[in-house]
Every structure is written in C-alpha cells, then in structure tokens.
C-alpha cells in the first residue's frame, strides 16, 4: 500500500465542540466553493451527548482543498476580530475579549453539577462521588463565580441526596432489625 494521499481523500480540517459551529463552518466553506462533509452528523443527531467526549464534530474537506479551506477560515477569524475591534474602538485589545472557552476549574464545577443531577435519577447511587467532585471544584483556584455557583449547587444537591439515601437505609435497617 502506498502512503501517498489522493487529492480526493477526505481529511479533517477542524474538530468543533458545537453542532451549530460545525454547520456554520460548512456553510462558509460551501459558499466559497469548497465541498465539506460532517462525518459525525448522525452521531450528533442521535447520540448528542457523545460527540463532545469523542473529540467533537469533525469538519472534513478534500485533501486538495485543505490549504484554501484553512485560508478561508483564517480570514473569517480575522474578520471577526476586526469587527470586534471596530465595535470596541481602535485601541481595544482583542486578547481581552471572551473566546467562549471554559477554565478547567469551571469545567470541574459543571461536571460536579451534572453528576449530582444525574444522581437524582439514579436514586442517589453516585451522590458521594458528586460530593467529592464539588469539593474538589470549590478548592480549585481557577474557578470563576459562574463555576463556584454550580459547584455549590452540586454540593447542596449531593449533600441532600446523600442524607436522603442515608435516611432510607437507616429506616430499612430499623425495619429489618
């Protein structure tokens, strides 16, 4: 087998964590005459909870179009930055604007809240784990107020769930004994 790539082979141009962003990128590329493909389209539609853990939604183009597609996306990014600078004034620093990313501390807080809420559905089986996650998230120095609220909510939900499950176990033990 040859290791040379064929110009019609599909290559991954980008991995995006948002379905809408992947659709926008495809639309921009197709408006410029570059055929694009979302191989994870079915997964995002049917198993929407799995596309982020699997690395995001892939945007693929033909090997022959990769360089031009990268240029188009880079120009789109520069246009967006230029528009933001124009809105904020000539002296605005683009590095200060929110890029939509989430800090590791906020990610840990949000995870703790999701685990706590899922644990409500699982009858409290993972509340001790979500308590641990929430406590770890609250102890992180990079948690913003947004993340702190979610970690505190996870802590309260998990604490209430753990106490409730403890009460149920105590009452069953009392009835059995």
pLDDT in tens, 80-97: 544 444 444 444 443 444
Average pLDDT over residues 46-56: 65
Task: Examine residue 5 and state whether it is found in any structural domain, yes or no.
Answer: no
Asked if residue 152 is part of any domain, the answer here is yes
Q: Is residue 25 included in any domain, yes or no?
A: yes
Tell me, yes or no, whether 15 and 77 share the same domain. yes
Using the predicted structure, report yes or no on whether residue 132 has a pLDDT greater than 60.
yes
Question: Do residue 92 and residue 118 come from a single domain?
Answer: no
Rounded distance between C-alpha atoms, residue 146 and residue 97, angstroms:
17
Are residues 34 and 69 in contact, defined by beta-carbon separation less than 8 angstroms?
yes
50 shares its domain with 117? no
Q: Among 14-23, 81-90, 150-159, which is the least confidently predicted range?
A: 81-90
Q: What is the mean pLDDT of the chain?
A: 77
CA-CA-CA-CA dihedral for 21, 79, 102, 96, to nearest 10: -170
| pLDDT of res. 61 | 92
Provide the pLDDT for residue 112: 86
* SS3 assignment, position 144: coil
pLDDT at residue 152 greater than cutoff 80? yes
The distance between the two most distant Cα atoms of the chain, rounded to a whole number of Å, is 76
Strand order in the sheet with 36-37: 10-16, 57-62, 36-37
Pair (16, 91) in one structural domain: yes
**Whole-number Å distance between alpha carbons of 60 and 147:** 34
Full domain range(s) for residue 147? 104-176
62 within some domain: yes
Calculate what percentage of the chain has a pLDDT beyond 90.
10
Q: Would you say residue 2 lies in a domain?
A: no
- Residue 65 buriedness (CB in 10 A; 0-12 / 13-18 / 19+): buried
Of 46, 70, 96, the residue that ends a domain is 96
Domain end: 96, 123, 141, which one? 96
Check pLDDT > 80 for residue 168. yes
Which among 79, 96, 113 is the end of a domain? 96
Number of domains in the chain: 2
Q: Say if CB 43 and CB 50 are below 8 A apart.
A: yes
Higher pLDDT among residues 43 and 11, named by residue: 11
Query: Considering only CA atoms, which of 157, 156, 109 is closest in space to residue 134?
Result: 109
Q: What is the mean pLDDT of residues 73-77?
A: 78
Q: Quick one: 18 and 89 in the same domain?
A: yes
**Shared domain check, 60 and 26:** yes
> What is the band of 68 on the pLDDT scale with cuts at 50, 70, 90?
very high
First to last CA, the chain: 71
pLDDT at 33: 92
Whether 84 and 18 map to the same domain: the answer is yes
Burial label for 13, CB within 10 Å (0-12, 13-18, 19+), is: buried
Higher local confidence (pLDDT), 4 or 48: 48
């Amino acid at each position: 087998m040859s290791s040379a790539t064929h110009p019609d082979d599909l290559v991954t141009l980008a991995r995006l964590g948002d379905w809408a962003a992947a659709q926008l990128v495809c639309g921009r590329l197709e408006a410029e005459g570059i055929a694009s493909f979302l191989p994870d389209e079915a997964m995002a539609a049917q198993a929407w909870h799995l596309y982020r853990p699997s690395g995001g939604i892939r945007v693929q183009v033909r090997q022959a179009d990769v360089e031009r597609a990268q240029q188009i996306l880079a120009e789109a990014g520069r246009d967006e930055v230029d528009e933001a600078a124009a809105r904020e004034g000539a002296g605005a620093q683009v590095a200060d604007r929110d890029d939509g990313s989430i800090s590791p501390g906020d990610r840990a807080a949000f995870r703790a809240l999701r685990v706590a809420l899922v644990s409500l559905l699982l009858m409290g089986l993972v509340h001790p784990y979500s308590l641990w996650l929430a406590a770890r998230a609250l102890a992180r120095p990079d948690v913003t107020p947004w993340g702190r609220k979610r970690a505190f909510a996870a802590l309260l939900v998990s604490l209430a769930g753990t106490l409730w499950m403890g009460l149920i176990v105590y009452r069953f033990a009392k009835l059995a004994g």
